[in-house]
Structure 1
Amino acid sequence: MAVNITKKPQIVFNRSLKFSQKSNSAIFKETKPYMTLYDLPLMNIVNRLKGIKKTFKNIAFIGPNPYLFIQHLPKEYEIENLYFCEGSQECVEKSYEIITRKIDSGFYEKVGTNLPNQIIPKVIDEEQDWQKEFKTDQLDLIVNNMSLHWVNDLDKTLNSFRETMIPDGVFIGSVIGGNALQELRICLNLAESERDGGVSTITSPLLSIQDIGNIFAKAKFNLPTIDISHIQYEFTSTFQLFDYLKKTGEQNALLSKRNFISEETFIAAAAIYETLFNKRTIGRRDENSTSILVDTLQNDLLDERIGKPIVDGSGKVSKNDKMRNIMTTLDVIYLIGWKQHESQQKPKERGTAKFSLKDVVKEMNDKEGDEKNKIKYGMLIDTGDEVKEIDK
């Protein structure tokens, strides 16, 4: 007799601890750390939504900045209900306070915001309680901004989202992944190895774009689209980075972690970071990266470098000293998927093609004429540092 064994998901994150951290960060929702971390991915989501020629009536938003999402809702949407959701009571209350203030002050009206008929706050753990709060086929659109990287059972959560969407409904989200905070991981590991004689898990594990793609496909979303953007943040010191992660509620929330890490280890990590990953050493990642200078304080330069800053004759931090700022990588993965509907495009069955790609290439080459413009039919193989073309 066959027995079906369902593998339980590994519990990596302490969700209660994460919600507590988010609660402590709620007072910083309108500060520069929050804006630089959460607003850029959200605006990228908004730009992607503008490319979807469809209107939405019932929308659920999960993330820290619903007030900005409301401000940029496309004008053509005829929105009846907008639910904004977070797992922290304090975060939901703070967001509601900001939204109410913007409505009462006339800010939304001044900028021409397309306000929903109803704006409904919900304190909800999207991993555990989503289908308890929303009915099947209730939502046209679900937007998740920078929240999924703290979910333990991503497969279950995405399936829950899909179940509560109407047929042809859209899910769009952003999630931290890839090589995010790779510089900090390296420096903490080196410092811990040198000071404590071993390495433990100090930073949270992240999913690659391939991992996200596989999980997203397993959740049975149709027409999935996944891409990644690279962002470089520039900080004046490692301690500013630590403070930044705390104020945004993005510090470690692992279920199994060291209870205590010495101050010496963190100071050693800061010294390594400011030596290996300063602006002069590594510069810009590449031309496709977005670069953001982060100033944690509103008006003052938070400068807690291991070395002393170089001050010019005017008493200002010199240009040379700015080259000592540290660089931090943040990779954000974007996901778009649709709930199945008969109107959606479907791939044709194998063997139904009427033309051979080889024949198309031959016909194009016959028209081009010269050798320079010909398309070569074959495959590329990589042998060492040399790439060769092999004709089929």
Structure 2
Amino acid sequence: MDDSQIFDRRSVRLHRDRAASRVDAVADILSAGADLLLDRLDDVKRSFTRALDIGGRGVVSPALRTRGIETVACDLSPAMAHRSGGDLVLAADEEWLPFAEGSFDLVVASLSLHWVNDLPGALIQLRRALRPDGLLLASLPILPTLSALRAGLLTAESALSGGASPRVSPFPELRDCAALLQRAGFALPVADSDSLRLSYADPMALLRDLRAAGETNAIRLRDRRPMAAEMIPMALASLETDEKGRVPVALEIAIMTGWAPSPDQPKPLKPGQATIRLEDALAAMPDAEKPC
């Protein structure tokens, strides 16, 4: 296996295969994440006719079809792909997509690209699969998501064995996400953040939800030996609780939008082409609206 690969893609597929039968347990969380993404369609003054749903785990494709958009659903896991329903379903690797150029005018990837080794390469493939002026909507978990769990596992394993193995997927920072879109050749790239706030009376339920979503550790260099029996209780005991004794968990999410380049899109002015000076524009603004 290529040493540059961070994730074991075979394990990613197996985890999603196993999760397909129990993903309904986290359907509400996945639907809330998808809503953060699909709500952006309400801000776009155009219609879409044919969409690609990448890894929607049975919540994205039905929502797109409700909007009247013909949708092709694909997932690395055949079992998970079939959760999307409909006739246009296939198993496909995000790193080797089988679609011809210009196949779709909308691509939606809701919390599904963070186990990809070559994310810039996958985004390039998605951009090529879009028609000119087609839209990509993608979301990724970003830091500090699961940072407390990562730190708790690291501390517990270090205390028990004198060393530590990566147990939680590495996540990017928000500032990296717009750069990824720009690097992949998208026009008008934008990345902003939103969050889902969860709360658990039993911290073990967090681990069960991660497993049900197919989010079990698939880092290639993980320690594959069984963990010490004390490790999980020790790690979970380190998580902070709120005034009700519950464990709050914030899923911080980057919402990424980008357009396949088209000659009809607005272009930034070249230096010297502006028709009004910045000083004049600022002088015309009300004092309350002027930047500090």
Tell me, yes or no, whether TM beats 0.5: yes
Q: What's the offset of the Cα at 1:153?
A: 0.2
The alignment status of 1:161 with 2:126, answered yes or no, reads: yes
Indicate which of 9, 22, 27 corresponds to 1:34. 27
C-alpha distance in 1, partners of 2:271/2:216?
Answer: 49
In structure 2, the CA distance between the partners of 1:376 and 1:214, relative to structure 1 (3 Å rule), is: closer
C-alpha distance in 2, partners of 1:259/1:10?
Answer: 19
Task: Please report the RMSD computed on the Cα atoms of aligned residues, expressed in angstroms.
Answer: 2.3
C-alpha distance in 2, partners of 1:47/1:374?
Answer: 30
The alignment status of 1:85 with 2:85, answered yes or no, reads: no
In structure 2, the CA distance between the partners of 1:14 and 1:376, relative to structure 1 (3 Å rule), is: closer
The alignment status of 1:57 with 2:49, answered yes or no, reads: yes
Q: What stretches of structure 1 move > 4 A for 4+ residues in a row?
A: 72-75, 373-377
C-alpha distance in 2, partners of 1:362/1:164?
Answer: 45
User: Does the CA contact (< 8 Å) of 1:46 and 1:73 recur in 2?
Assistant: no
Give 2:253's aligned residue.
332
User: Does the CA contact (< 8 Å) of 2:74 and 2:92 recur in 1?
Assistant: yes
C-alpha distance in 1, partners of 2:134/2:148?
Answer: 38
The alignment status of 1:173 with 2:141, answered yes or no, reads: no
User: Does the CA contact (< 8 Å) of 1:155 and 1:215 recur in 2?
Assistant: yes
Of 264-273 and 180-189, the range deviating more from structure 2: 264-273
User: Does the CA contact (< 8 Å) of 1:232 and 1:328 recur in 2?
Assistant: yes
Deviations 1:315-373 (A, max 9, x none): xxxxxxxx111112211111111111111110011112232222343466xxx7xxxx5
C-alpha distance in 1, partners of 2:192/2:290?
Answer: 29
Give 2:10's aligned residue.
16
C-alpha distance in 2, partners of 1:154/1:326?
Answer: 32
Matched AA of 1:270: L
The alignment status of 1:345 with 2:266, answered yes or no, reads: yes
Give 2:242's aligned residue.
279
Indicate which of 257, 260, 264 corresponds to 2:230. 264
In structure 2, the CA distance between the partners of 1:350 and 1:232, relative to structure 1 (3 Å rule), is: same
Q: What's the offset of the Cα at 1:232?
A: 2.3
User: Does the CA contact (< 8 Å) of 1:39 and 1:65 recur in 2?
Assistant: no
Deviations 1:84-116 (A, max 9, x none): 1111111123433xx5xxxxxxxxxxxxxxxxx
Q: What's the offset of the Cα at 1:83?
A: 0.7
Q: What's the offset of the Cα at 1:126?
A: 1.4
SS at match of 1:27: coil
User: Does the CA contact (< 8 Å) of 2:51 and 2:105 recur in 1?
Assistant: yes
Indicate which of 273, 276, 280 corresponds to 1:355. 276
User: Does the CA contact (< 8 Å) of 1:9 and 1:153 recur in 2?
Assistant: no
C-alpha distance in 2, partners of 1:342/1:357?
Answer: 27
Deviations 1:138-186 (A, max 9, x none): 2111111111111110111000011111111111111112211011012
Give 1:248's aligned residue.
213
In structure 2, the CA distance between the partners of 1:263 and 1:20, relative to structure 1 (3 Å rule), is: same
C-alpha distance in 2, partners of 1:375/1:59?
Answer: 39
SS at match of 2:109: strand
Give 1:47's aligned residue.
39
User: Does the CA contact (< 8 Å) of 2:53 and 2:60 recur in 1?
Assistant: no
5 Å-filtered alignment, 1:169-248, equals 169-248=134-213
In structure 2, the CA distance between the partners of 1:71 and 1:157, relative to structure 1 (3 Å rule), is: closer
C-alpha distance in 1, partners of 2:192/2:145?
Answer: 15
TM-score with structure 2 setting the length: 0.91
User: Does the CA contact (< 8 Å) of 1:178 and 1:207 recur in 2?
Assistant: yes
C-alpha distance in 2, partners of 1:163/1:65?
Answer: 23
Give 1:125's aligned residue.
93
SS at match of 2:273: coil
Deviations 1:35-72 (A, max 9, x none): 22x11121122211122122222211112334554245
Deviations 1:232-259 (A, max 9, x none): 2111122221112111111110001112
SS at match of 2:134: strand
Residues matched between the structures, number: 290
User: Does the CA contact (< 8 Å) of 2:142 and 2:172 recur in 1?
Assistant: yes
User: Does the CA contact (< 8 Å) of 2:50 and 2:104 recur in 1?
Assistant: yes
SS at match of 1:148: coil
C-alpha distance in 2, partners of 1:72/1:83?
Answer: 10
Matched AA of 1:52: V
Larger radius of gyration, structure 1 or 2? 1
Structure 1: state its 5+ residue gaps: 1-7, 100-118, 281-322, 381-392
5 Å-filtered alignment, 1:67-82, equals 67-71=59-63, 73=65, 75=67, 77=68, 79=69, 81-82=70-71
User: Does the CA contact (< 8 Å) of 1:361 and 1:375 recur in 2?
Assistant: no
User: Does the CA contact (< 8 Å) of 2:7 and 2:218 recur in 1?
Assistant: yes
TM-score with structure 1 setting the length: 0.69
